[in-house]
Amino acid sequence: MKKRIVILGAGVSGLTTAYWLSKENYEITILEKKDVVGGSMESVLLNGMLFDRGPNSGLETTPLVQQLIEELHLKDKFQYGTKKGNKRYILRDGKLHALPMSPGALVKTKLYSTKGKLRLLAEPFIGRSKDGYYQSIAQFVQRRLGREFLDYTINPFVAGVYAGKPEELSVKSAFPKLYALEENYGGLIVGTVRSIRERKKRKEIAKQSAKMFSFTEGMQALPLAIYKKMKDNIILNAAATSVRKEGNGYLVNYTENGERKSIFADAMLSTIQAFELSEVMRDYDGILSNRLNSIYHPPVMVLFLAYKVADIPVPLDGFGFLIPAIENSSFLGALWNSVIFEDRTPPDTASFTLFVGGSRNADIFTSPIEEIIPKVISEFNEIMKIKTKPDVVEHRFWLKSIPQYNVGYIEHENYFDKFEELNKGFFLSGNFRGGISVGDCIKNSEIVCEKVKEYLNEN
């Protein structure tokens, strides 16, 4: 008799793990509360223009990406970002400055003062921290690279990746590879050089040098391709409500289109969001439920704008721009979609995705969205020197967006490990564990798959 694996959630974590497991002789059932797969990957067409309302792209940090593309027959839809998209801008004093990517560019840039540049040169002489597990990325960067680099590079970068605050995010949990450079090699510059060889051995690519990718139909093309292959294993409109131990496995209670049902699992994997799993686990493990519920997911609005190219005086030659908190803007930054992926709009049109809110500016949503959008557009137009109104305006509001790996997150991580040790055959995955990016989720899916297989083979 086949052993059954029940997976909660049909986002990228749940689907990719299910896909790897489907190659084995298991019976797999995925419960997805929405009527479509993909989780936060939502791709829609607006007047012939593609708008990704969640992740806009992924980084090819693992060979698993190409394996998926090949096996799911997605080569015709797969695309890399343009070379122009490698250039990134930071706003300082109301002006866009290209982020320097070479020593020569660093010398010439006006993004940092002379004092700030000289402070960077001291980095190799800074010692290790003694409190890494409870150190924020702000403390880490200011100690190693100085305040100016924190304000005008790390602060906007953290907002762009996590929609978060560097003063709150744990360097160990949110940026483990950065932390490891100091821990293993004593510094960032030395560590970067020495770690390149080790990464090559693991066939991994650093995020800063990995190729950006997407699909001609948007990021949702990946989960939809897995759904096409595994449709018979996926139950849509099915929300888990509770779990209990039963014999050597688990009984999962859920509702499908409002009807109460249950399913037995020899092994189960949750990949749903932390706050959703918190409710499911409240009666099973109150400590886990409380920990999951305490993970902060800030509100974020994703705003899509489109203009005529002729109305944009600023050269469109980059990925977009990020805004430091010190600039006091009402939004976090903007992606230049039609530059990164040139087929996203008609040739005479340029599209942009702006991000508003996050933990840095969650209070902005005390105002109605109808008031926020015009204010953001006005500020964006001023930065881009645009004097016309956008032709297309669309938004997606996420009340709870990216999980924040805040200082002390190691306590949560340790408990997740303890929970799995005490509840054999119950596995926790998703973007609250092991990284938030698409690449992280894909890479972790293989690790989780092996853990599930090992458990089932032994039991």
pLDDT digits (tens, 9 = 90+) for 376-424: 999 999 999 999 999 999 999 999 999 999 999 999 999 999 999 999 9
CB 155 within 8 A of CB 146: no
Give 185's pLDDT tier (boundaries 50, 70, 90): confident
Q: What is the pLDDT of residues 100-111, one digit of tens each?
A: 988 899 999 999
Measured in degrees and rounded to the nearest 5, phi and psi for residue 119 equal -65, -35
- What is the per-residue pLDDT for 205? 60
The yes/no answer on whether domain 3-37+63-73+217-295+407-458 falls in CATH 3.50.50.60 is yes
Strand partners, 402: none
Residue 209 has pLDDT above 80, yes or no: no
Task: Give the pLDDT band of residue 201 (cuts 50, 70, 90).
Answer: low
Contact yes or no for 270/9 (Cβ under 8 A):
yes
- In the chain, where the domains are located: 3-37+63-73+217-295+407-458, 112-201, 298-398
Distance (Å, whole) CA 102 – CA 20: 40
Instruction: With cut-offs at 50, 70 and 90, classify the pLDDT of residue 186.
Output: confident
- Per-residue confidence band for 206, with pLDDT thresholds at 50, 70 and 90: low
What span, in angstroms and rounded, lies between the C-alpha atoms of 171 and 405? 9
State residue 182's pLDDT score: 86
Q: Is the pLDDT assigned to residue 202 strictly greater than 70?
A: no
- Given a contact cutoff of 8 angstroms between Cβ atoms, the answer to whether 290 and 276 are in contact is no
Q: Which residue has the tokens 């002006």?
A: 95
Task: Specify the CATH class of 298-398 in words.
Answer: alpha beta
Strands annotated E in 26-182 = 26-31, 43-46, 49-52, 58-59, 78-80, 88-92, 95-98
Identify whether the C-beta of residue 248 lies closer than 8 Å to the C-beta of residue 266: yes
359 neighbors 296 (Cβ within 8 angstroms): yes
Looking at residues 207-224, what average pLDDT do you find?
Answer: 91
pLDDT tens digits for range 317-364: 999 999 999 999 999 999 999 999 999 999 999 999 999 999 999 999
Report which DSSP code applies to 205. -
Q: Is the four-CA dihedral 120, 124, 130, 134 of positive or negative sign?
A: positive
Coil, helix or strand for 245? strand
What's the Cα-to-Cα distance from 19 to each of 56, 79, 133, 220, 228, rounded to whole Å?
22, 22, 34, 16, 11
Q: Mind listing the pLDDT tens digit for each residue in 19-65?
A: 999 999 899 999 999 999 999 999 999 989 999 999 999 999 999 99
What H or E segment, with its residue span, contains residue 241? Answer: strand 238-246
Phi/psi at 242 (nearest 5 deg)?
Answer: -165, 165
Q: Kind of pairing, strands 267-270 and 426-428?
A: parallel
| Residue with the larger pLDDT of the pair 343 and 372 | 372
CATH architecture of 112-201: Orthogonal Bundle (1.10)
* Virtual torsion, Cα 138, 142, 146, 150, nearest 10 deg: 0
Angle at which helices 64-71 and 438-458 cross, to 10°: 80
Q: Are β-strands 238-246 and 88-92 bridged in parallel, bridged antiparallel, or unpaired?
A: unpaired
